[in-house]
Amino acid sequence: MAFLFDKAKATFTFIASQDVLTYPGDERITDLDLMVLLDGELVIGEVKSNARGFDAASVAAMVKVAKVMLPDTVIFAAEADGATWPTEVAVLLDNATTELTALRVTVRRELLRWLP
């Protein structure tokens, strides 16, 4: 969260993890691990404890939600298992970036280091 907080110029509001449900029907689509209002812009994201935790289903769910919410930024973040994203995950995120950029949604990838 600090990587976002440090970028705030005026406002930073964090909203705790939220389930995203269909309407009508209340079927769970996914949860948003990250929802922040940052200087008037909506940022949503998915955070995994390991970059390999991103699979086609989790990335597709985030893209589906982003297509409805149209946030300013979508973040895919995970603990770094190395200096780069695993190839299979990078391909999934490249595809998500292509889809969302066409809707003027910025996509960021963050490899994180957890503090001990």
Structure tokens at 34: 């990250």
Question: Mean pLDDT throughout 8-23?
Answer: 81
pLDDT, tens digit (0-9, with 9 covering 90-100), for 22-38: 778 778 888 899 999 98
pLDDT on residue 58 = 94
pLDDT, tens digit (0-9, with 9 covering 90-100), for 74-108: 999 998 877 889 999 999 999 999 999 999 999 99
Q: pTM for this one? A: 0.87
Q: Which of 33, 24, 98 is nearest to 62 (CA)?
A: 33
Range 2-112: architecture per CATH: 3-Layer(aba) Sandwich (3.40)
pLDDT, tens digit (0-9, with 9 covering 90-100), for 38-72: 888 999 999 999 999 999 999 999 999 999 999 99
